[in-house]
Structures are given as C-alpha cells and as structure tokens.
Amino acid sequence: RLHLVTWNVGTASPPPDVTSLLQLNSLGPTMDMYVIGLQEVNSRITNFLSDMAFDDPWSIFFMTVLSPLGYIKLSSIRMQGLLLLIFVKHMHLPFIRGIHTQYTRTGLYGYWGNKGGVSIRMSLYGHTICFVNCHLPAHMENTEQRLDDFEKILEMQFEGDNIPSPMDHDVLFWFGDLNFRIADYGIHFVRESINNKRFSLLWEKDQLNMAKKTEAFLKEFREGPLQFKPTYKFDLYSDVYDTSEKKRKPAWTDRILWKIKNLCQNASKEGDFPEEEQTISVTLNNYVSHMSYGISDHKPVTGTFGLELKPLVSDPLVVLSPEGEWDAEHDVIIRYSAVPEFPSSAWDWIGLFKVTFRHVNDYITYAWVEDDEISSNKNSKQVYMSATEMPNMGGEFLLCYYSNNLQSIVGISEPFQIHPRKTSIKKDLTQEENSWMQKPDNLESHDES
C-alpha cells in the first residue's frame, strides 16, 4: 500500500497536524510506503544553505510524525523549492535496492532550480519503480513549455551502470504542481460548474487531459477521475477561490499520474492482461484533495495505491541477529550471514538503532563488519560491539546491516531488548528517593508562605 502526497506549500512552515493528509486514522491496513512530493519549500538562499547542512523543517517534521509509527526515511532529494521524501516500513528495507536520486533544472534556461523535477528510483522486490516530483511553468499560455519541460525531465539519466531512464522503469509515478489550467471557459462558468459539483463539464478543457489525447509520450499515463474541486488558487486559510485583484481562474494544477511499462503491448485484444506476463499491477484506491489545509494557495492532493507484485526477490541479502541476552554492561555479539552473491565491502557496517529510528544515520553505535569480526565460518560470521557504546538505559532496538557498495540497508533484525546498566537503575532510584524526600519540605514552605 502506497500513499502519495503532492503539495505546493507556498514557502509556508509545516501545519500543526497531518493526520488526515497521511490517513493515519484510517481503519484499513496501514501504508507500507509514503511518497511525499512538495513544491515551493522555502528556498531563500540562507534557508537553502542551512537546509543543505541539516535536514530542512519539512523533512524533520515528517520524520517526527512517521518514525514512531515504524517508518524510516528511505531517501530524499531537494532542488531549491522541490523536495521529494520516501518513507517505508522497516520490514521492506532488505528488499529495496538500487536507490538513486537525480534532478533536472528547467527554470531560467536551466540555471536556477525554481522549476524542474526531482526523482528517486529503486528496485522494490526486484521491480523497478521511479517517482518524479515536478514543478512546471505557470500561466494559461505555457502549455507547450510545460510539455517540453516534462519531456526534458523524462530524459534525465541516473548516475550508475545500467540504470533505466524514468520511462523504462516497470512503474513510473509522475506528480507535482504541473500547472495545467482549464482552457477556453471563462471564470464565471468555471466557478459555477464547481459550485454545482459538475466537474465533468470542465474535464474536456483541462489542458493535461487535452494533451494526453495528442501527445504520444503522455498516452500511457493514467490518472484517477478528478472528482474533487480544482486545487488552485485559494485565499490562505480558507476554501474560497482567489478574491485578489488577479482573480485567478481555478485549475487542477496538482496531479498524480502513473504508467506501467509495456502494459499496452501486453494487453490482449479483449483488453485482459495475461496473468503470467503481468508481474506487477497498480490499483488506485483513492484520489482526493484535502480542503482543510490552508497554509498555501494550493490544496494538497493524495493518491492511495495498491501495488501487487510478484516478488522477483524474496530473500534478504543479509540475515542478522543479536547473540543471546544483551545488557548495557557487557560486550555483545552479532551473528550474520550473507547470500553467496552478496557484494560485501570492508566499509560495510552494522548499526544499532532504536526501533523508532528516523534514517540510516540515526544509529546509536555501529561495528565495522571486517575490523570488528571475531569469528567466521562458511555459514555465518560474528562481530562484537563494545559495552562502552551500549545505551545505559536499555530499551527496544534493531540491528541493521548497511552495504557500502549498494548504499542501502540490506538486512534488518527483529526488535530485541537491551537490559539497562544496573548503576543507571540505582542512579534513577536514588534520584527518585531524593526528590520524594524533598517534597514535604517544599509543601511545608508553601503552606507557611
């Protein structure tokens, strides 16, 4: 289950709550992956430079929301105001490989990244998937420029050997502030149609729908029905369309589309998809806007998808686990084994993480798999971690094996307990006793006063 968000945030700070945006109160099964594409993230030079050194406020915000729920930030890419974030449940990490990011500038002749696209690609259970978050040129008359820019973005090359272009992935998701407008109709007709919920009257004049009929490279892209109000342009903190002097015509600028490779060629004459050929299918379960968010002049749009995959990869490259009971007072041992074809490196490491860790650099401590190895046989290897690095207070933790060659986590343990250091327990008890003994004095002096 994949939940995809696109939102032009208009340089605003994150809102207080995103429960409904991320469908966190949904009664159905939880999401396996969140893909969040933002446009117009605050990109003043000072902000951008500080965000390059540290995570930007939006990344930190979503990590804070999602990490306690068992999601890790798998990857992210930022280009000026464009930001793309991917979060996944821990259990999927060993089956996600070949993660690469790339960006394409199109604004101001490609010199400034205020417009363009950012992409993240990966292999998920052996299937190639690419996500492209775009911010295309604005204004009614720039349809051709939008199409040209998107074609240029689709030609981006990921660094590395034998990595397909975006269009050659098994599944390609295309989303963002695509800026396509509603042509021909005047503002009064458009607003009247929206007020009467007669959205279908506007669909045939939507510039993206029109382009899909004429542009060959768009014909394979699919989109859910636009059964929600156009998401642009609103007065801030309201669901009222633009009341400024410009009175912009409402438009479905914020969109989510997808394409499955070779689906057209595989379809039989009856329109069926032969089961043995179709190893991946995409089902759109929900395509909606979220009117309650008013921090910018755009409303966010989400698409909830079911990805049905025939796993081409079903075994993790590395299996690892803690040896015996762990406590914070003793050196500990990790046992791991790798599949024969695993491309190990002297720079591989095993990290100890809290179960609520945010991203791969969020480790408590780590061990180098070669330098800290203490035994090896053909079936498994053992690595030690020093007691000096153990968390004194103990708690629930995970072990993750990070591959330097693959630049990703390729193995993850089941959660396990580390028992706290006894001195820490005594210290806590002593502190509690002291504070308890002080309380009567405090109360007494309070009564006297």
Q: What residue segments make up the domains of the chain, in order of their start? A: 2-264+276-309, 318-427
User: What local confidence, expressed as pLDDT, does residue 440 receive?
Assistant: 41
User: What local confidence, expressed as pLDDT, does residue 27 receive?
Assistant: 80
Give the 3-state secondary structure of residue 46: helix
CA distance 24 to 283: 20
CA distance 306 to 308: 6
Give the 3-state secondary structure of residue 353: strand
Q: Are 254 and 299 in contact (CB under 8 A)?
A: yes
Q: What is the pTM of this model?
A: 0.89
CATH ID of 2-264+276-309, from 3.40.50.620, 3.20.20.120, 3.20.20.220, 3.60.10.10: 3.60.10.10
CA distance 443 to 420: 33
Q: Residue 79's closest CA among 51, 57, 100, 109? A: 51
Q: Residue 403's closest CA among 428, 368, 372, 375? A: 368
Q: Residue 249's closest CA among 179, 190, 180? A: 190
CA distance 401 to 366: 10
Low-confidence ranges of the chain (pLDDT < 50): 110-111, 265-276, 429, 432, 435-449
User: What local confidence, expressed as pLDDT, does residue 337 receive?
Assistant: 97
Check whether domain 318-427 has CATH 3.20.20.190, yes or no:
no
Residue 424 DSSP label: H
CA distance 208 to 223: 10
Tokens of 46: 């000072």
Decide the pairing of beta strands 171-177 and 332-338: unpaired
Extended strands (E) in 357-439: 365-368, 373-376, 381-385, 395-403, 408-412, 416-419
